[in-house]
Amino acid sequence: MADRSGRLLENLDQIEMRVEALREAATAMEQERESLIEMIQSTQNSQEMRNICDGEKEELSLTANRLMKRTLTVTVSVDTIRNALQEDALQKATAIINEIASKVLEDLEGGRKRLQALHAACVTEAPPVPIDQKFQSVVISCALEDQKKIKRRLETLIRNMDNAEKTIKIMDHQKVDHSDLANGK
């Protein structure tokens, strides 16, 4: 009887390792999907895309749109098991991030600083920016998988803000160049 029980336990241990490997692979696929979407959007909004002729731009836009549609057809989902406290903490953290993200266009620099303070609350090494202590206590109450997703979302938002700011600076520089040309300078 103990021998049979031991074999069953060994079998379940092996299944558990495979389940964890499956969850890790699915999480990696989720991250790859997010990365592809971000890359396509970055290409669509790139300076190079603005500096090509209309015919090429149209062809590349069609290809980018086709790739985006195909990427969006991929659905991978890894659910996280949470208790009521973790569920509440995740909702609070998400609400805080969403509130800042919705106001970013009103105050780009202030929004960036707030997002960086939230991100600082998610990292273990000493960050170069102040930590949002209240947000950190909320994040610590989240499930470990949710903590990782929150950190990745903040990194993506900050990276997108940096890219948008670079694009704005390039466009402003082009406006100055064009106005100089129009004024004969």
Over range 136-142, report the average pLDDT.
96
Is the Cα torsion angle 12, 13, 17, 20 positive or negative in sign? positive
What's this model's pTM, rounded to 2 decimal places?
A: 0.74
Kindly report the CA angle at 31 between 162 and 130, in degrees rounded to 5? 45
CATH of 83-184, one of 3.30.450.60, 3.30.70.360, 1.20.58.890, 3.40.309.10: 1.20.58.890
pLDDT for residue 180: 53
Residue type, 113: K
Q: If you average pLDDT over every residue of the chain, what do you get? A: 88
- pLDDT reading at 29 higher than 80: yes
DSSP string, 29-65: HHHHHHHHHHHHHHHHT-HHHHTS-HHHHHHHHHHHH
The mean pLDDT of 61-89, rounded to a whole number, is 95
Percent pLDDT > 90 in the chain is 59
| 20 vs 83: CA distance, rounded Å | 20
* Domain ranges within the chain, ordered by starting residue: 1-78, 83-184
Q: Mean of the pLDDT values across residues 99-124?
A: 89
pLDDT at 61 exceeding the cut of 60:
yes
